[in-house]
A and B are shown apart, each in its own frame.
Chain A
Amino acid sequence: MSQYILRRLMIAIPSLLGISLVLFFVLALAPGDPFSELATNPNVPPEVQAALRAKFGLDDPIYLRYLHWLAAMAQGDWGFSFVSRVDVDTLILQRLPTTLYVVGSSQLLALLIAIPVGVYAATRPYSLFDQLANTFAFIGFSLPTFFTGILFILIFSVKLDWLPFVYSSVPGSGIPWLLEMIRQAIMPVMVLGLFQAASMTRFVRSAMLDVIRLDYVTTARAKGLGQAKVIVKHVMRNAMIPVVTLIALQMPAVFGGAIVTEQIFRIPGIGSLLISSILANDTPVVMAVTFVFACLVVLFNLIADVLYGWLDPRISFR
């Protein structure tokens, strides 16, 4: 098992290298120069500009720049933000916990809704409950988060004034601070979580329906186990195998959605960091943040593979 994980991590290295290569070249091709502001600033003499460019290696050929970046990265040097004038890793480490907190809670919420609703709907296909669940799921994944986000802000912040719509990241401690952290996360977590729950409910339902008519479910019924046990022990465990894969494959979309949601609720996570650094042409930060996203996606795929082997004994870790 641990050997399997180790081997999978080794395999992840070339794919991460490939991702970084593509990212780097695409960003190099993108228009915009981090020193464009400097160039138009008459107070900075051209010699200083040239010296700065040389210092950061901006005039080197692209492959050299990539190799520099890679060598620095391997030593744990993530680069230096041109705009914030701090190290990129400090910047990311400041922002990452917030994103993981919001995305993690919303995924948890989505699972807590999708699994019971999907399972129950599948045991009574075409019943009123199933039809209602299907309808809500349809509405849920038809409404984009940037729409529901603004709608939530309008209703719960502007009209009702129940929840804050600007996310504060002032560090603190104590119960009141903790409660405030939870309170301000409610809306973004709901928006992201419900959106995810909608499509997950459909996955769970259809996976359950695929399994429920299989022969071994009839075998289980013939043992007199009772509906609840047949569903939980014999159907659900098998139905979760494809669901795990689908959830893992959706992770890139989840982080993509989180970028938008962070922007709407002004959550200081890495999504909003990415957007502000793109707007400011802060290439090192853009590069690092996209690379962190890539690592997270690779990580979730690995987690899915491990879960897969745990759920399905036919897959062995060899």
Chain B
Amino acid sequence: MALLDIKGLKTHFSTDAGILQAVDGVDISINRGETLCVVGESGCGKTVTAMSILKLIAMPPGRIVEGEIMFEGRDLVPLTSRELDDIRAKEIGFIFQEPMTSLNPVLTIGEQIAESLRRHEPVTKKQALERTIEMLKLVQIPNAAGRVHHYPHQFSGGMRQRVMIAMALACRPKLVIADEPTTALDVTIQAQILDLLQDMKERFGMAVMLITHAMGVVAETAQRVVVMYAGKVVEEAPVDELFGNPRHPYTQGLIRSIPRIDLDAEHKTRLEAIGGSVPILINPPVGCRFAPRCKHAMSICTQKEPRLREIAPGHRMACHLGDAS
């Protein structure tokens, strides 16, 4: 049984212009101890999918319209926010994108980590502090015993992201959702943070759902990859399969847009970009949502929506190409 199994999730937002179908029928499953990457450009619904799991989106205007989110065999969708509080941080930890704004500026980092421990575990204040210092050491914050009493503004971006990781992992969750944890950081720091996440994952044996738009990050960390486009999953495959044999035109485009340094100068080609931009998800047109930007678009693409289907073991995609057979 998968640790987390999202089936047909639809999260919509009501806006003045109409219903925004941010996530529209997404299936994602994560096994225990696995790293799953969710990729896609900004606005494809990957963050909303992740936030829907713990109902961290603003409701209203957001609403989970349909679908189920099975976590260890229990559906999280019907649970109230109060019931979810027992799962938040304890079972599923969350690392956010912006380390600069995701920490409360008026509380010490120690307090912010310890309050999670005190909420979920029967620890005294002193024990919570000790475990907080231990966590800070694990995420390699120098002088953890002294730094625990410092405020977020006294840390650099990379250090703050380490604090966020310590916070998310403090209660030893079974799943950690990291929403673009390295996007706001320098490249050198990005690699350190990804290594740290990998290290923590091995130590605690948790599953990681890593949301990113950087294909480089995907290649480096993932075991399985889910590619999202305009609120839907378009392709899903093990990482080697996805990079070696991408089947969906969108995935192919994403991979071709990565700069390569392993090619000789004579083989170097101009970096390809996918023309156009993500469609607005209010009253989206029928058919494939990628069709307007797709080089291979056929007449059927604007009439019928392609279903996500298995094309090889563990490899699923949603495209009419190759359907003809």
Contacts and interface: CB of A to CB of B under 8 A. Distances in A.
Contacts of B107: 233-234, 237
A216 B101 contact: yes
Interface string A56-72: 00000000000000000
A215 B87 contact: no
Interface string B96-109: 10100111111100
Nearest to B81: A227
A220 B104 contact: yes
Contacts of A238: 104-106
A318 interface: no
Given A218-B96, A224-B119, A224-B120, A237 B106 contact: yes
Interface string A205-228: 000000001111011111111110
B106 A222 contact: no
Interface size class of B (residues with CB under 8 A): 20 to 34
User: Interface residues of B: mostly helix, strand, loop or mixed?
Assistant: loop
Interface stretch (A105-113, A146-154, A296-304, A307-315): A307-315
Contacts of A227: 81-82
B102 A216 contact: yes
B86 interface: yes
B56 interface: yes
B88 interface: yes
A224 B102 contact: no
User: Interface residues of A: mostly helix, strand, loop or mixed?
Assistant: helix
A222 B120 CA distance: 12
B94 interface: yes
A241 B98 CA distance: 23
Nearest to B97: A215
Contact of B106 (A219, A224, A226, A313): A313
A313 B154 CA distance: 10
Contacts of A312: 105-106
B94 A222 contact: yes
B56 A223 contact: no
A231 to B, nearest CB: 13
A45 to B, nearest CB: 71
Contacts of B58: 213
A318 to B, nearest CB: 15
A226 B151 contact: no
B168 to A, nearest CB: 8
Interface of A: 213-216, 218-227, 233-234, 237-238, 241, 311-314
18 contacts: A215-B102, A218-B96, A218-B102, A219-B94, A219-B96, A219-B112, A221-B56, A222-B94, A224-B86, A224-B116, A224-B119, A226-B85, A226-B119, A233-B107, A233-B115, A234-B107, A241-B106, A314-B106
